[in-house]
């Protein structure tokens, strides 16, 4: 039974039980809207209330698409209530029973959570749990961290927390062995359907995270490699399928995951191309018939002729530049006089000319005049969340923006806009289309 004495907000249903408190579905009696309520009991001996409030305030600027947005805070004699903005989605812990994610989707989610940890650490916010019941999934597998103000689960924070989350989602279990070898054996068994090279690469990454042997930056680069290797492998499979139609034998490359974490300290940047959210498909590869290789005897004369042509062209260009410069100087000296006709004798073509530096005629750069921009060409995307369709229509038309909307099931925001595609405050061209979603 809930014995708390909060006036404005009412806790209706327990959604999730965590080590530091309970998450409820609740109602705002003033604004008559649904909310999510996180209620934590005070540790009276430590007086943890002020520290929690300060931690919540420190995270007020965190991006809403990565951290649950806090609307309000209420405190009574024994507990504190954090009022959260409800979002469409589900708890990542539900995945442990639904089994809807494949291994590459799991790697992508872990990578996004790691990036959120990296960004919040810049604001001094770290040490929070990434256990599956503290992660909310919305949209296209976008993870949102719920509780970032409590630090009471050190094993589930930082790089070690990412390693345990990968194991938890891949093996689909709430209980984790304490021995790393036992974790590794269970992980490899759960990934039995994957190629051996990829299984071993994922295993090496998990070990590095659990043992804290690599920085968070290197671990995220390792996940990028795993995901990009998957993308490249998918493209290769398409090419192999086309090749197999021609009767050629296809062989799997066992070394394709060889350099996937853990790597030496210095790795070429081209192997760490940033993760393309969410792995855009490549253009189809057009196969070209290989041209027959020319004989060695034919290659040498062609190279010699090519070099001679280059020297001849360079000499001709140099001569033309010198003549032009002399002619320009004469015009500057005698601006009123008509230049006399003169015969220009081109220098003889030398078979093996000595390269000369080309000195271009000095030119005065024209001043760059910036293209004037007017307010009529651009508009600022407004925040449509919480508005009705009629209000959004009036607002967008006043800004000369087009729109379209979709009605989706959302009892919490019935008749109101709960999501928009273009983020608020973004500057866009007039006539840009804004997409938003209305609850019913």
Angle at 434 between CA 430 and CA 437, to 5 degrees: 165
Pair 167, 206 in one domain: yes
pLDDT in the model for residue 433: 92
8 A C-beta contact, residue 408 and residue 439: yes
Pair 76, 97 in one domain: no
Low-confidence ranges of the chain (pLDDT < 70): 1-6, 42-49, 229-306, 329, 332-376
Q: Give the domain range for residue 39.
A: 9-84
Please tell me whether the overall predicted TM-score, pTM, comes out greater than 0.75 for this model: no
Pair 226, 265 in one domain: yes
CATH of the domain at 396: 3.30.10.20
pLDDT in the model for residue 292: 54
Pair 220, 108 in one domain: yes
Pair 158, 233 in one domain: yes
pLDDT in the model for residue 376: 61
Rounded to an integer, what distance in angstroms lies between the CA atom of residue 126 and that of residue 117?
Answer: 7
Pair 41, 108 in one domain: no
pLDDT in the model for residue 135: 92
The verdict on residue 226 lying in a domain is yes
pLDDT in the model for residue 298: 47
pLDDT in the model for residue 286: 52
Pair 54, 125 in one domain: no
Rounded to an integer, what distance in angstroms lies between the CA atom of residue 417 and that of residue 300?
Answer: 71
pLDDT in the model for residue 409: 84
Pair 77, 98 in one domain: no
Pair 114, 232 in one domain: yes
Q: Which structure tokens are listed for 386?
A: 């919480």
The verdict on residue 1 lying in a domain is no
Q: How many domains does the chain have?
A: 3
Pair 232, 155 in one domain: yes
CA dist list (Å): 407 to 364, 366, 402, 440: 60, 55, 17, 7
Ramachandran bin of 9, using left for φ above 0, alpha for ψ from -120 to 50, beta for the remaining angles: beta
8 A C-beta contact, residue 410 and residue 88: yes
pLDDT in the model for residue 113: 93
């Amino acid at each position: 039974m809930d014995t708390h004495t909060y006036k404005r907000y009412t806790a209706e249903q327990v959604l999730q039980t965590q080590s530091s408190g309970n998450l409820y579905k609740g109602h705002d009696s003033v604004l008559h809207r649904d909310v999510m309520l996180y209620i934590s009991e005070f540790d009276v001996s430590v007086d943890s209330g002020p520290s929690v409030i300060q931690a919540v305030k420190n995270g007020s600027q965190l991006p809403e698409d990565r951290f649950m947005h806090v609307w309000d805070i209420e405190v009574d004699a024994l507990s504190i209530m954090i009022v959260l903005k409800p979002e469409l989605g589900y708890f990542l812990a539900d995945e442990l029973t639904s089994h809807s994610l494949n291994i590459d989707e799991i790697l992508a989610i872990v990578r996004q959570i790691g990036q959120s940890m990296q960004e919040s650490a810049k604001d001094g916010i770290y040490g929070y749990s990434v256990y599956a019941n503290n992660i909310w999934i919305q949209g296209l597998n976008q993870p949102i961290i719920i509780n970032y103000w409590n630090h009471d689960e050190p094993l589930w924070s930082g790089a070690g927390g990412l390693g345990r989350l990968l194991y938890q989602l891949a093996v689909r279990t709430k209980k984790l062995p304490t021995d790393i070898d036992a974790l590794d054996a269970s992980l490899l068994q759960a990934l039995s359907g994957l190629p051996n090279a990829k299984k071993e690469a994922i295993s090496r990454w998990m070990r590095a995270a659990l043992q804290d042997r690599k920085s968070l930056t290197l671990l995220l680069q390792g996940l990028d490699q795993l995901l990009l290797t998957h993308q490249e492998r998918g493209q290769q499979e398409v090419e192999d399928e086309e090749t197999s139609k021609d009767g050629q034998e296809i062989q799997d490359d066992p070394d394709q995951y060889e350099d996937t974490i853990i790597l030496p300290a210095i790795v070429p940047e081209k192997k760490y191309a940033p993760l393309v959210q969410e792995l855009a498909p490549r253009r189809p590869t057009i196969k070209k018939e290989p041209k027959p290789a020319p004989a060695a005897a034919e290659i040498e004369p062609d190279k010699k002729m090519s070099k001679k042509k280059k020297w001849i062209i360079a000499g001709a260009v140099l001569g033309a530049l010198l003549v032009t410069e002399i002619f320009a100087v004469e015009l500057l000296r005698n601006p009123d006089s008509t230049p006399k006709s003169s015969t220009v004798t081109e220098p003889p073509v030398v078979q093996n000319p000595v390269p000369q530096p080309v000195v271009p005629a000095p030119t005065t750069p024209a001043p760059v005049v910036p293209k004037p921009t007017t307010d009529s060409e651009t508009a600022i995307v407004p925040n449509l969340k919480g508005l009705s369709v009629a209000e959004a229509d009036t607002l967008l038309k006043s800004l000369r923006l087009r729109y379209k909307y979709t009605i989706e099931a959302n009892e919490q925001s019935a008749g109101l806009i709960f999501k928009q595609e273009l983020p608020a405050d973004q500057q866009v061209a007039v006539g840009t289309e804004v997409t938003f979603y209305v609850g019913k």
